[in-house]
């Protein structure tokens, strides 16, 4: 879910950003970043819920009386936790990069509006 959504959203944003760099469809680029950013945020929430449900399921397995099932449950909890930490680190990194580009992006959006807008 996360990778395919990231590919689709990132692909659209890359194309619209490239168009805006050449002065074409600057307004559409701003709208794409706004709305597709929300899509990415919602997908992060969906992935978090699925991750929580998986972690809870493996917690139930880790409490099993069978040693093999309990060991597999504990191991998978570690995998899910590692994935959550890596996602958090990537989210922080991308937000720091976007925050650095925000002022220039909004300046471009402002300069490319018409007087009526």
Task: Summarize pLDDT for 9-24 with one digit per residue, the tens.
Answer: 999 999 999 998 898 8
Asked if residues 55 and 82 have their Cβ atoms less than 8 Å apart, the reply is: no
Q: Is residue 116 part of a domain?
A: no
Residue 69 lies in a domain: yes
Where are the extended beta strands (E) located within 9-90?
Answer: none
Task: Using CB atoms within 10 Å of the CB of residue 16, give its burial: 0 to 12 exposed, 13 to 18 middle, 19+ buried.
Answer: buried
Looking at the domain assignment, is residue 23 inside a domain?
yes
pLDDT at 98: 87
pLDDT digits (tens, 9 = 90+) for 29-79: 989 999 998 999 999 999 999 999 999 999 888 888 888 889 999 999 999
85 in a domain, yes or no?
Answer: yes
- Spatial CA neighbour of 43 closest among 72, 6, 70: 6
Evaluate whether residue 96 is within a structural domain. Answer: yes
Instruction: Give the chain's domain count.
Output: 1
Structural domain for 69, as ranges: 2-111
User: What's the pLDDT at 28?
Assistant: 92
Residue 27 included in any domain: yes
Q: What's the rounded Cα separation, in Å, for the pair 37 and 53? A: 25
14 within some domain = yes
């Amino acid at each position: 879910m996360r990778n395919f959504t990231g590919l689709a959203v990132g692909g659209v944003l890359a194309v619209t950003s490239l168009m805006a760099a050449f002065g074409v469809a600057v307004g559409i680029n701003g709208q794409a970043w706004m709305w597709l950013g929300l899509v990415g945020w919602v997908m992060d929430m969906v992935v978090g819920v699925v991750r929580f449900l998986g972690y809870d399921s493996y917690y139930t397995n880790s409490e099993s009386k069978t040693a093999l099932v309990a060991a597999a449950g504990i191991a998978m909890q570690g995998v899910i936790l590692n994935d959550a930490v890596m996602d958090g680190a990537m989210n922080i990194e991308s937000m720091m990069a976007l925050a650095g580009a925000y002022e220039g992006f909004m300046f471009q959006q402002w300069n490319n509006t018409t007087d009526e807008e």
